[in-house]
Amino acid sequence: MFKRALLPLLLLALPSAFAETPPDWSKPQPAHRIAGNVSSVGTAELGCYLITGSQGHILLNTGLADSPPLILANLQSLGIDPKDIRILLTNQAHFDHVGGFAEMRQRTGAKVYATAGDAPLLRDGGASDPGGLSTFAPVRVDHVLKDGEVITLGDISLTVIATPGHTPGSVSYQMTVRQDGRDKTFLFANLPTVVMPLKNRKYPGIVKDLKASFRRLASLRPDLWVAAHASQCGLIQKFASGNFEDPRGYAAAVASCEAEFKTKLKAELGRP
């Protein structure tokens, strides 16, 4: 299942001059309820997640610059008024997850919440990205998130889990969902794939950040999980099976990501 994830990840690792993105990234994917108040509203590959609540909703990730019409169509199919989205979040300030932020902010009137590490990238449209990936429309940041902060909106409580390294402010979020009469842990994971040099003058703390993020992610035990890329968590296959409980798949995805990081660390810095 995770071999399929390699192609988009390899493409992400290419320099920004390579502006072409895989067709799956812009391919429409019908909205799909995952569990409790969480639904997928993204494209066939770019994970965008809607968390509905009593006082408005949260949208996590907005895909590429061309994704908003697809997301808005998915929201409409769920009967969601875009104006009821109050908060926009991302897992990582890269063009394939925040390219649609400026437009979605305008269409929803939502506030943008971002970590201290990713806020500068959102504000300058990725110009300061230490990985030098494609730029995107800049967006105002209304609130800077802290590690461990609980984002509350009506009956939604979402905990911020800092997992930097893929970008300087990459972040995961965790919440409780009610499914089959039981409370379950749901993680919106940012898997720390390495898309820039590990010896990096623009991001001197990258190795330390990645090591800490792997420790952090390995310590979590989600019942259900999703990721910024659908292929990273087998999302489309899970739509087909209807089974989103996947604690083992989560542990395997983190371990395989960490093994890749260690290989790169040895190749680039000659040490573990």
Question: For Zn ion, what does the binding mask look like between residues 33 and 72, x meaning CB under 5 A?
Answer: ----------------------------------------
Q: In whole angstroms, how large is the CA radius of gyration of the chain?
A: 17
Per the structure block, which two tokens stand in for 172? 């995961």
Verify binding: residue 94, Zn ion, rule CB under 5 A: yes
Minimum CB–partner distance for residue 263 and Zn ion (Å): 19
Q: How far is CA 107 from CA 62, 101, 122, 190, in A?
A: 12, 10, 17, 26
**Options 30-38, 41-49, 61-69, 84-92: segment touching Zn ion (CB under 5 A):** 84-92
Residue 110 phi, psi dihedral angles, 5° rounding: -75, 160
Of 94 and 105, CB closest to Zn ion? 94
Q: What is the 3-state secondary structure (H, E, C) of 72-135?
A: HHHHHHCCCCHHHEEEEECCCCCHHHHCCHHHHHHHHCCEEEEECCCHHHHHCCCCCCCCCCCC
Of 61 and 92, CB closest to Zn ion? 92
- Report the C-alpha gap between 220 and 250 in whole angstroms: 9
Minimum CB–partner distance for residue 115 and Zn ion (Å): 14
Identify the CA nearest to 158 among candidates 132, 138, 185. Answer: 185
Report the amino acid identity of residue 224: L
Where in 113-142 is the site for Zn ion (CB under 5 A)?
none
Q: How many residues bind Zn ion (CB under 5 A)?
A: 2
Of 223 and 225, CB closest to Zn ion? 225
Minimum CB–partner distance for residue 229 and Zn ion (Å): 8
Where in 173-212 is the site for Zn ion (CB under 5 A)?
none
**Options 14-22, 25-33, 90-98, 206-214: segment touching Zn ion (CB under 5 A):** 90-98
Taking the CB of residue 229, how many other CB atoms lie within 10 A of it? 25
Minimum CB–partner distance for residue 16 and Zn ion (Å): 12
Minimum CB–partner distance for residue 75 and Zn ion (Å): 23
Of 9 and 102, CB closest to Zn ion? 9
Closest residue by beta carbon to Zn ion: 94
Identify the CA nearest to 170 among candidates 130, 134, 201, 199. Answer: 130
Of 75 and 112, CB closest to Zn ion? 112
* DSSP bridge pairs for 121: none
**Options 50-58, 89-97, 99-107, 231-239: segment touching Zn ion (CB under 5 A):** 89-97
Report the amino acid identity of residue 175: M
Binding site for Zn ion (CB under 5 A): 92, 94
